[in-house]
Amino acid sequence: MTPQHAPAPAPAQLDPPAAVTPSFVVRRIPDTAPRVISADEAWATGSSCCAAHAAGERGTEVYAQGALALDFSRDCDEDDFGPQPTRSSLLPQPEPFVATLAQAVMEVLSGQRPASQLVRHLSPTVHAMVARRALVATRRAAPGARRAAMVRRVRVCEPADGVVEACAVVVSHGRVGALALRLEGRDGRWVATALTVG
């Protein structure tokens, strides 16, 4: 007997493929760039702020260049990163500081202390003046030991918050002199912005 083969099973019926729905939709981005115009047309359209303002009031389209607009009229870096004013309540008492600073200034002027030690407490203009006077005084000084100047009295007034105007009575080599200065609170410390020695 010849073996009989079993009939092959009928192929399984497949469901029709379901419609594939995309998970995202591609949309065209609108073109917002201004139209390209000639240089003559740009100057004629908005040659000045007044012309641009007047054109805007009339409803006329004002030309705007497709680039980052920078404002150089303000000193933004100085406002953000320059010396920041400090209120008097956040600063140390001015009287001891004035006495110490006046003593240090007199020592610099007599050549007993380098002017670089006062850089943090003097504005650049005041520091340059003190350093110049100290250099002149050192050249004129007679050789030998020199007595340090002594601060006798300090008077302080506060005309505004974070501002101190002070004077100190100084005795140097038997002579009485005065030192007047203006302090301003900057970056959490007192800084002398004006100084006069008499």
Q: What is the domain extent for residue 154?
A: 88-140+148-197
What is the structure's pLDDT at 112?
Answer: 86
Q: How far is Cα 104 from Cα 91, in angstroms, rounded to an integer?
A: 20
Tell me whether residue 76 is in a domain. Answer: no
Q: Looking at the predicted structure, is the pLDDT value of residue 15 above 90?
A: no
Give the pLDDT score at 75: 56
Is 103 part of any domain? yes
Domain assignment present for residue 182? The answer is yes
* pLDDT given for residue 61 in this prediction: 57
Q: Are 155 and 167 in contact (CB under 8 A)?
A: yes
Q: What is the pLDDT of residue 71?
A: 61
- Looking at the chain, the whole-number percentage of residues with pLDDT higher than 70 is 66
Between CA 45 and CA 96 the distance in angstroms is 63
Q: List the helix and strand counts (H, then E) for the chain.
A: 5, 4
Structural domain total, the chain: 1
Q: What CA–CA distances, in Å, run from 102 to 1, 17, 179, 191, 194?
A: 130, 93, 7, 12, 12
The CATH number of the domain holding residue 188 is 3.10.450.50
pTM score of the predicted model: 0.58
Spatial distance between the Cα atoms of 161 and 86, rounded to a whole number of angstroms: 9
Task: Please check whether residue 100 lies inside any domain of the structure.
Answer: yes
- Considering the domain boundaries, does residue 169 fall inside one? yes
